[in-house]
Copies of this chain bind each other. A is one copy, B any other.
Amino acid sequence: MRRSFIQCALAVSLLAAAGAGAEGRWGTGALMVVIERESGSVLVVDAAQNHRVLGRVEGLGVLHHASVSFSRDARYAYVISRDGLLSKVDLLTLTLAGQAKVGESAVGLAVTQDGRHVAVSNYKPGSIVIVAADSMSIVKTIEADQSKTVGLVDAPGNRLIVSLMDANQIWIIDANSPDFPVIGKYLNVGEKPYDALLTPDGRYYIAGFFHSPWMALLDLWNPGQPRKIAIPAPKESQGGMPVLKIPHLEGWISAGDVLFAPVIGGAGLAVIDVFTWKTKQVIPLLAHPIFAMAQPDLRRIWVNFVMGDHHGAVQVVDTQSRKVVKTLNPANKIFHMQFTPKGEAVYLSSYGDDKVLVYDPNTLNLVTSFPAQKPSGIFCSSRAHVFGL
């Protein structure tokens, strides 16, 4: 009780210091935007200034499953709320620079390669909504055959790629034209796509399905009907149906001739052969993983679990020995992890204990922590520079 009071007082004083006149006196290259899930706010932290809390921006809607993308100059964070409110947060002034209500229920967003537009994928109504990045006005709504849309990403050539959950399709949208035409439609790719990822080079789009025992791989260099590839799973369960409790796809990690990915429907990290897309090994973990995030140097992968007995654990896997080298228990309900751009620190959000912990990945020691209100997702502004984020 006393401790949380002190933490709270500290937070208020930090925010007050940041609020008055201190605007704009920081580079925007390594800012951490922390979603405060229940209060509709984000906390902005400068990883390059000793993890200093710069301030809080409020009024962003219902932030369950919220996501963030950044403008090209990393000045603005675009936040999409679960209830369809798109906010433009100015990371220099820590104010709202604009908002647009784009739907009733939304799940993801993407900034186009040219930086001129922000696209949102809506569950309800089923659509992709295109918003002008400067004015925040809606410039186009693309109806999605009454399907929920998911797995929206920006891709090279100023394209957007999206999956249609109820229509079992993948679409390619051309953001060069003011009409935003759908220039590619792939039908019957699999049953009920639920999420997708784009490889960091922007070449491969990979979608996962609730009801099909494969993943769909679209090669954007050679577009044609997507290939069916094996889901990351132990050999004995390959070909079976995926189960619920599905890990996020974002954390697929390319390291030389293998990919690492959370096993779907099991307690492990899959090692996938990039040439055959088959799972060649499963590294055992404590429980079903949610996120698997690689250090920028690819030496280690950090995995969290969120639910069940191990909600407070983080396991660290060495990519060379392919073994768990450390199990940390930082705090309750570790919801998300985010590395600084060069990985000298990693942020862990503890939803259960209302704080963010900062670890040094080189030593695996705790560096610092600071209070946050039920933190969930953490997004570093350097994501501005990566396709698909």
Q: Which residues of A contact B (CB under 8 A)?
A: 24-31, 46-49, 70-76, 91-92, 113-115, 156-158, 176, 201-203, 221, 255, 257, 295-299, 320, 340-344, 362, 381-382, 384-387
- CB pair A72–B91 under 8 Å, yes or no, is no
Bound state CA distance, A297 and B201, in angstroms? 5
| Chain B residues within an 8 Å CB radius of A385 | 29-30, 341-342, 382, 385
- CB pair B297–A387 under 8 Å, yes or no, is yes
- CB pair B114–A344 under 8 Å, yes or no, is yes
| Chain B residues within an 8 Å CB radius of A387 | 296-297, 342
27 A–B pairs (Cβ distance < 8 Å), ordered by A: A25-B92, A26-B75, A27-B28, A27-B75, A27-B91, A29-B71, A29-B73, A29-B384, A29-B385, A46-B73, A48-B71, A48-B75, A48-B115, A72-B340, A74-B74, A157-B297, A158-B344, A158-B362, A201-B255, A201-B297, A201-B298, A221-B299, A257-B257, A341-B384, A341-B385, A342-B387, A382-B385
Q: Which of B74, B203, B295, B342 contacts A72 (CB 8 A)?
A: B342
Bound state CA distance, A75 and B73, in angstroms? 12
With A201-B297, A385-B342, A385-B385 as known contacts, state yes or no: A70 contacts B157, CB within 8 Å.
Answer: no
Q: Which of A26, A30, A91 has the most CB of B within 10 A?
A: A30
Q: Separation in Å of the A96 CB from the closest CB of chain B?
A: 16
Q: Which of B74, B157, B298, B340 contacts A30 (CB 8 A)?
A: B74
Bound state CA distance, A73 and B47, in angstroms? 8
Bound state CA distance, A340 and B48, in angstroms? 22
Contacts beyond the supplied A30-B72, A156-B296, A176-B362: 11 A-B pairs with Cβ under 8 Å: A27-B28, A27-B92, A29-B385, A30-B73, A31-B73, A46-B73, A156-B297, A156-B362, A202-B296, A342-B385, A385-B385
Q: Which of B73, B257, B296 contacts A27 (CB 8 A)?
A: B73
- CB pair A297–B46 under 8 Å, yes or no, is no
- CB pair B92–A72 under 8 Å, yes or no, is no
Q: Separation in Å of the A207 CB from the closest CB of chain B?
A: 20
| Chain B residues within an 8 Å CB radius of A71 | 27, 29, 48
- CB pair A113–B344 under 8 Å, yes or no, is yes
Q: Which of A340, A384, A386 has the most CB of B within 10 A?
A: A384
| Chain B residues within an 8 Å CB radius of A157 | 297, 362
